[in-house]
Chains A and B, each alone.
Chain A
Amino acid sequence: MSGSTPTPSAAAVPQAPSRPGVTAALVVAGLAALIAAPFLFYPVFVMTLLCFALFAAAFNLLLGYTGLLSFGHAAFFGGAAYFTAHAAKVWGWSPELALLLGVAGAAGLGLVMGAVAIRRQGIYFAMVTLALSQMFFFACLQMPFTHGEDGIQSVPRGMLLGLIDLNRPLAMYFFVAAVFVLGLAIIWRIVNSPFGMILKAIRENEQRAISLGYSVARYKLSAFVMSAALAGLAGGLKALVLQFATLTDVAWQMSGEVILMTLLGGIGTMVGPVFGAGLVIALQNRLATSDFPVTIITGLVFMVCVLLFRRGLIGELAASRIGKTLGMRADT
């Protein structure tokens, strides 16, 4: 139509859609790895890793797919850990109910924090979430039910649905793996839904979304609460796995760690945060027994990634020739 535009033949080539076969193969491989993992590694390590992977994936729902950088996600992760631990230990609730309470509690916290923070943009949003999560940290430090510096110790894992004894390591492992898969499936569904499409539109061009009649604050708040609830699922699960809930999980360092995991793996990709979490947890695990200072090493890894892999490990892979051949799309 115009001389200034590229030739139609070049522009009209449709992008390669994500090949369903490849996606299915990856899902099957992932499930096989999940089933094999407890026989190859120390189960508690794998379970901890899965909890953090779910946490990072929940965080990525907000950062990667909505474009909101929260610096207060520890409040949901650690808060839910306290709620679940308290319900299971003091009230004697079954694990599934205790976990649900953690999710509900995190969602409630998310609603309150989100309602305050959501109308701020960029760095202001991050700062408000940080401030609110710090307030929650001090509340946890002072409230009697959290037992301050001691935390809630020896949380019982209990009987799942009154039938399955979660004190058996393998039973616990497969419960955690199932919750992890369910959590990722929920995130995948939210991202690839009519609602997820609006989230993407808001992330891409907020002004345009407003001019199309969308009240963007509502969608952002909904995404914030969903992300908080899923982070709570991960936090509650972790309390059952490690059988304790402490201040570490609500501290601001935890909010920073989940950002690190997500950025390392690649924001806006489904598997990126899972790999990022795996890398960080594995590094911490390895370095804990050595003389190397953990934080310096993870800091260095982070710097290298920022300098070399801007899109994160999985993001770079998806953008590379291998990823293109496999039909991966960086934003899905």
Chain B
Amino acid sequence: MTDAAMTAEPRVVLSARGLGRDFAGFTAVNNVDLDVRHARIHALIGPNGAGKTTVFNLLTKFLQPTRGRITLMGTDITRMAPDAVARMGLVRSFQISAVFPHLTVLENIRVALQRPAELHRQFWRPLSALDVLNGRAGVLIDELGLTPWRDTRAADLSYGRKRVLEIATTLALDPEVLLLDEPMAGMGHEDVQMVAAIIRELARHRAVLMVEHNLSVVADICDEVTVLQRGEILARGDYATVAADPRVRTAYMGSDA
């Protein structure tokens, strides 16, 4: 951890209090408090079925919470629509890579740029109207090393590059808070290193909350860790604290199962 991270805690941009969600009598998430801070990487970990993705869906409003309150940069977003939350600067990725498969890499990124550029309603203008976005899209493509695949359809990219494209698309929105659902899942070792470096870089100017199973990555890049088990918070703190917690060890080793 760097010295900067040791100084005063940066501001909280996304926070949840008493968050809960029931599915037909089954409590998937219960009483979750979470604070995601600017320029920090916050990991959400826990065994399978702990409710990590449900928490993600609740925070991004893809699911409506049964209980609790969510605030984004001081605004209560508990009852807002997912697209409105996205427009406020809370953008998520998905567990299963979310690209537009039949669009090229360039087109994928331009789709993200079209909304802030107010180029998404014009049904009377030719596609060449979108060429003004090529410069900004090109910079992103370049930064993430996708330049050789600029005109390749997303469906034809390798798995790792699809994930990179997804991150590039998300970055195109320049979000304040980034929620990444298992960004490393299914990746080879080298891709993991590459994506970890990308995430660390983009967390310099924004808050990142990520679900991740790869604990060495979590240990490596995350400033704060929250452990979920059966929908509730089991432990929180920095990685060393959490890893030393006997309850966390039990949950992961499964000796209580």
A interface vs B, CB < 8 Å?
1-6, 8, 11-15, 17, 189-190, 192-198, 200-201, 204-205, 207-216, 222, 226, 331
User: Does residue B191 face the partner (Cβ distance < 8 Å to A)?
Assistant: yes
User: Does residue B75 face the partner (Cβ distance < 8 Å to A)?
Assistant: no
B115 touches A213 (CB 8 A): yes
| Stretch of B38-46, B64-72, B124-132, B248-256 with 4 or more beta carbons under 8 angstroms from chain A | B124-132
Given the complex of chains A and B, what is the CA–CA distance between A198 and B104 in angstroms?
Answer: 14
Set of chain A residues within 8 Å of B81, measured between Cβ atoms = 215
Set of chain B residues within 8 Å of A211, measured between Cβ atoms = 60, 62, 82-83, 86, 91-94, 98
Set of chain B residues within 8 Å of A3, measured between Cβ atoms = 188, 190
User: Does residue B54 face the partner (Cβ distance < 8 Å to A)?
Assistant: no
A4 touches B159 (CB 8 A): yes
> By CB atoms of chain A within 10 A, which of B62, B125, B129 has the most?
B125
Q: A2-B160, A3-B188, A4-B158 are in contact. Are A214 and B100 (CB under 8 A)?
A: no
B82 touches A204 (CB 8 A): no
**How many whole Å from A107's CB to the nearest CB in chain B?**
14
Total residues of chain B contacting the partner, CB 8 A: 57
B111 touches A213 (CB 8 A): no
Given the complex of chains A and B, what is the CA–CA distance between A14 and B157 in angstroms?
Answer: 11
Q: A2-B188, A212-B91, A212-B173 are in contact. Are A195 and B123 (CB under 8 A)?
A: yes
Given the complex of chains A and B, what is the CA–CA distance between A17 and B107 in angstroms?
Answer: 14
A198 touches B114 (CB 8 A): yes
B148 touches A12 (CB 8 A): yes
User: Does residue B110 face the partner (Cβ distance < 8 Å to A)?
Assistant: yes
Nearest 7 interchain pairs by C-beta: A5-B158, A195-B123, A213-B86, A208-B98, A14-B151, A204-B100, A2-B188
Given the complex of chains A and B, what is the CA–CA distance between A20 and B67 in angstroms?
Answer: 57
Q: A2-B188, A194-B122 are in contact. Are A204 and B103 (CB under 8 A)?
A: yes
Tell me the nearest residue of chain A to B186, going by C-beta.
A4
Set of chain B residues within 8 Å of A210, measured between Cβ atoms = 62, 82-83, 86
Given the complex of chains A and B, what is the CA–CA distance between A210 and B84 in angstroms?
Answer: 9
Set of chain A residues within 8 Å of B157, measured between Cβ atoms = 11
Given the complex of chains A and B, what is the CA–CA distance between A6 and B187 in angstroms?
Answer: 13
**How many whole Å from B229's CB to the nearest CB in chain A?**
27
Please name 5 further chain A to chain B contacts, defined as beta carbons within 8 Å, in addition to the given A4-B160, A209-B111, sorted by A numbering: A5-B191, A14-B151, A15-B151, A197-B111, A213-B173
Interface hits, B168-196 → A, CB 8 Å: 169, 173, 187-191, 194
Q: A4-B160, A194-B120 are in contact. Are A212 and B86 (CB under 8 A)?
A: yes
Tell me the nearest residue of chain A to B153, going by C-beta.
A15
Q: Can you offer 11 A-B residue contacts whose CB atoms are under 8 A? A: A5-B159, A15-B156, A194-B122, A194-B130, A201-B111, A204-B101, A205-B98, A207-B98, A208-B98, A208-B99, A213-B91
